């Protein structure tokens, strides 16, 4: 999952004829975030999670922190 975030880029087009930039192209990131939150939460209920439990919990916390900033 973490590898899917490596090549994700946002576009920063100028806003009209001003020196201000806007952020564009984050629809893919929001969809990926939603998918990864669901997948990570499913992993937390797995009986096979024990060797990966700390990593799963840390990744879930990081994803949810990103999700909270979007609201």
Q: What is the pLDDT of residue 71?
A: 62
- Give 2-70's CATH code, choosing from 1.10.630.10, 2.60.40.1730, 1.20.140.100, 1.10.3720.10: 1.20.140.100
pTM of the predicted model as reported, rounded to 2 decimal places: 0.75
> Mean pLDDT per 10-residue run, the chain (71 residues)?
86 89 85 94 94 94 84 62
The residue ranges of every structural domain in the chain are 2-70
Q: What is the pLDDT of residue 9?
A: 82
Half-sphere exposure at residue 14, Cβ-oriented, CA atoms within 13 angstroms: 4
3-state secondary structure of 38: helix
Distance CA 27, CA 36 (A): 14
């Amino acid at each position: 999952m973490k590898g899917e975030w490596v090549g994700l880029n946002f576009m920063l087009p100028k806003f009209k004829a001003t020196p201000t930039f806007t952020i564009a192209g984050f629809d893919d990131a929001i969809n990926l975030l939603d998918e990864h939150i669901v997948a990570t939460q499913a992993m937390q209920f797995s009986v096979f999670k024990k060797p990966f439990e700390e990593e799963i919990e840390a990744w879930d916390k990081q994803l949810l922190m990103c999700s909270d900033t979007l609201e």
